[in-house]
Amino acid sequence: MNRENIFIGGEWREGGGTGMQSRFPADGTLNATLSAASLDDLEQAIAAGERAWRDPAWRDMLPHQRARILHRVADLIEARADALSETQSRDNGKPLAEARGLVMSAAGTARYFAAACELIEGELPTPRIAGVMTFSGYEPLGVVAAITPWNSPIASEMQKVAPAIAAGNAVILKPAEATPLMALELARLFEEAGLPAGLLSVLPGKGSVIGDALARHPKVRKISFTGGTATGRYLAHVAAEKLIPVSLELGGKSPTIVLEDADIEQAARGICYGIFSSAGQACIAGARLFIHQSLYEPLMARLLALTRGLQVGHPFDPTTHIGPLINDRHRQSVIDYVALAREEGGRVLCGGEIPADPALADGSYFQPTIIEGLNNDARACQEEIFGPVLVAMPFSDEASLIAQANDSVYGLAAGIWTRDTARALRLSERLEAGTVWINTYKVFSVSTPFGGFKESGLGREKGIQGLKAWMQQKSVYLATGNAVNHWSDNKKGEQ
């Protein structure tokens, strides 16, 4: 067991708040203990961030010099990928292979924004005023808040920290209470890479205490949050009161659509990965499955065979497909949703239970579950379960399909499986979702913007757009001659 310090304004020290624990969801063992940040720690971190981002040594640093720091961070991540993957796995229970994928994704994100910060260009509009040239550029916002979830810590954290640093800001990172370890590892990596002190602080603690105070602080000039829609809605109100920008990546109940001409094997395997990887603990999980009635029976047969073959097991076992859920409390929520689905008339075709294997008894495991017999208006189809639970429904015509797929308060992602690319593109235009995958699912590129429609969020991460989201634009008007403004001349012609 380790005792962890927290990172405040470039210093590692004991937090001033209450005690916290990180536990391994696979067996409940203790990873580390630490003290949460206090409100005084928060004030010190923000004061240090204010000094650091205004310091001429950082403020005047050229983009390629900031890029070097991010490249060093990426180098360090890649060199320590095994150790970081194990920490990620111990922090939230992901199988090691998935954890390593997230770690390497974080390295790629650092490299992308290292390059992107050199590509931000100002604008030189066509002149519209005689004798005046106009141009604009981008500047940092100042001290910014990054509030991250527990399901993919290092990837989510780097998606916020890397562009915010590349843009020249100081970042206060508030990780999820359940998973503080990867954020602290990230702080070590940035410190070792040479990031000036004060530009990154990591403040673990309760969202209702540290997260709320961070968002409300008058010196914080942007809030970026990934997590639940209720919290996102609250933070949007906070940002509106302060008149500051906010980026929100929130919940989802994503539809996956299988058209009558789809490749059954390709679709079944993609659907299986889209809902059951990460034990379904993903905002973009393909939790609602719409299958054309002509393909329903053969596709379901193949999908059930694949699902029953998935290995639920210890995250460090290389044969494991599905690790534990984050904790017993969250697992009980998933169990309750399955019970609700049964009450609503759903039939559980597989899973729906805690594994019987005594070797898994101490962990928060749950079997991958497929349910049929529900209508799209059932609560199990409308509310985010955030676990390995798939609801399958047949459809007969395209009009009803689109209506059902869009009948959700969420609009984060969607999937389409078909051999007809032109039809898939037409459908993608009608789906109310920020990301649509065609004949694939749950693949990402850091160069492609990501975000949601409706209650799935506001703003976008990733891509050049995701870097500009951490900046503000300034326009300059430059008179090119010596013309005098005669507005103040004496109107009566007096000298």
Instruction: Measure the CA–CA gap between 457 and 149, rounded to whole angstroms.
Output: 14
Count other Cβ atoms within 10 Å, centred on residue 158: 30
Instruction: List Cβ neighbours of 222 (8 Å cut-off, separation of 6 or more).
Output: 141, 144, 145, 169, 244, 245, 246, 247, 470
- Taking the C-alpha atoms of residue 431 and residue 437, their distance in angstroms, rounded to an integer, is 11
Task: Tell me the per-residue pLDDT of 177-230, one tens digit each, with 9 for 90 and over.
Answer: 999 999 999 999 999 999 999 999 999 999 999 999 999 999 999 999 999 999
pLDDT confidence bin for 2, thresholds 50/70/90: confident
Res 494 pLDDT > 70:
no
At 492 the pLDDT is 75
pTM over 0.85? The answer is: yes
Where in the sequence numbering do the catalytic residues fall? Answer: 249
Report the alpha-carbon distance of residue 89 to residue 153 in Å, rounded. 10
Quick one: how far is CA 293 from the chain centroid? 34
DSSP summary character for residue 141 = -
Taking only the tens place, the pLDDT of each residue in 216-250 is: 999 999 999 999 999 999 999 999 999 999 999 99
Measured CA angle at 115 (ends 114, 117), to 5 deg: 70
DSSP 8-state symbol, 187? H
Strands (E), 52-131: none
- Among residues 141, 142, 148, which one has the least CA distance to residue 52? 142
Q: What whole-number distance in Å separates Cα of residue 326 and Cα of residue 59?
A: 40
Give tens-digit pLDDT for 58-115: 999 999 999 999 999 999 999 999 999 999 999 999 999 999 999 999 999 999 999 9
**274-331 per-position pLDDT tens digit:** 999 999 999 999 999 999 999 999 999 999 999 999 999 999 999 999 999 999 999 9
* Distance, CA of 209 to chain centre: 21
The mean pLDDT value for 436-465 works out to 97
Longest Cα separation, the chain = 101
Q: From CA 412, how far away is CA 307, in angstroms rounded? A: 24
Question: What domains can you pick out in the chain, each with its CATH number?
Answer: 6-250+456-478 (3.40.605.10), 255-438 (3.40.309.10)
* Sign of CA pseudo-dihedral 34, 251, 371, 312: negative
Inter-CA distances, 355 with 151, 305, 365, 435, Å: 21, 17, 7, 33
